[in-house]
Amino acid sequence: MWSNDDLVAAGADLEPSTLVRAYRSGLFPMGIGRTNRQIGWWSPAARGILPLDTMRITRSMRQSARRYTVSIDTCFGEVIRACASPTRESVWITRQFIDAYEELHRLGWAHSVEARNAEGHLVGGLYGVRIGGFFAGESMFHIQRDASKVALMHLAATMRAAGMSLLDVQWSTPHLASLGVVEVPRAEYLGLLARAVGNS
């Protein structure tokens, strides 16, 4: 998924000011190595973004959307912990990251999108960081079919309605590409980011 060129720095901390400055600069943190104890700062040479007006919404996704109720920022802690579940493959979200992003959420920078089933149970969602017209998607999860996709649909629609312009998903994967995610070179991404963040 990533190459050696994508890792541009290591160390520092996850204080709110560090995180916000990093996102403004096109960087995001993720652990390095098997233990994820060291913080790496990443700027993919080929950045995955989801153009807000070209997300691919299948008939199945539309049908699934009718089965879920979607909300924003009602249970950030539950969402990030679900994304950090040790039962998931290649989990990098440690206690340190959970604490840091919960603080970022308390300060109004980090947000979650939640999908609940008919019984009101949280069955999917995502979280990330917003700065102006930019949203950096950090992680998503689902325990029922299409729940995370429905959360992403809702995020894209909310961003369009708010006049936002850049939805960053870090790296493209076959799954994300099937939803319309494309890759752009780092230099192009940084231009898009500067315009989206503006003076925020």
108 falls within a domain: yes
Who contacts 59 (Cβ-Cβ below 8 Å, separation ≥6)?
none
Structural domain of 115: 45-197
Q: Are 96 and 56 in contact (CB under 8 A)?
A: no
Query: 3-state DSSP call for residue 56?
Result: coil
Residue 63 placed within a domain: yes
For residue 122, tell me if it sits in a domain: yes
Specify the CATH number for the domain of residue 168: 3.40.630.70
Spatial CB neighbours of 75, under 8 Å, sequence gap ≥ 6: 112, 114, 122
At residue 37, the pLDDT reads 74
How far apart are alpha carbons 192 and 92 in whole angstroms? 27
Supply 143's token pair: 């325990």
Instruction: Grade residue 91 by pLDDT with cuts at 50, 70 and 90.
Output: confident
Tell me, yes or no, whether 128 lies in a domain.
Answer: yes
| Position 190 pLDDT exceeds 60 | yes
Is 145:63 a contact under the CB 8 Å cutoff?
Answer: no
Question: What pTM was estimated for this model as a whole?
Answer: 0.93
Q: How many domains does the chain have?
A: 1
Residue 23 lies in a domain: no
**186 is a domain residue:** yes
Structure-block tokens of residue 20: 């916000």
12 part of a folded domain: no
Which residues in 32-60 are b (16+ Cβ under 10 Å) and which e?
A: beeebeebbbbbbebbbbbebeebebeee
Give the pLDDT of residue 5. Answer: 86
Quickly count: other Cβ atoms within 10 Å of residue 112's Cβ: 26
pLDDT in tens, 42-74: 999 999 999 999 999 989 899 999 999 999 999
Q: Which of 175, 164, 191, 187 is nearest to 43 (CA)?
A: 187
Domain assignment present for residue 38? The answer is no
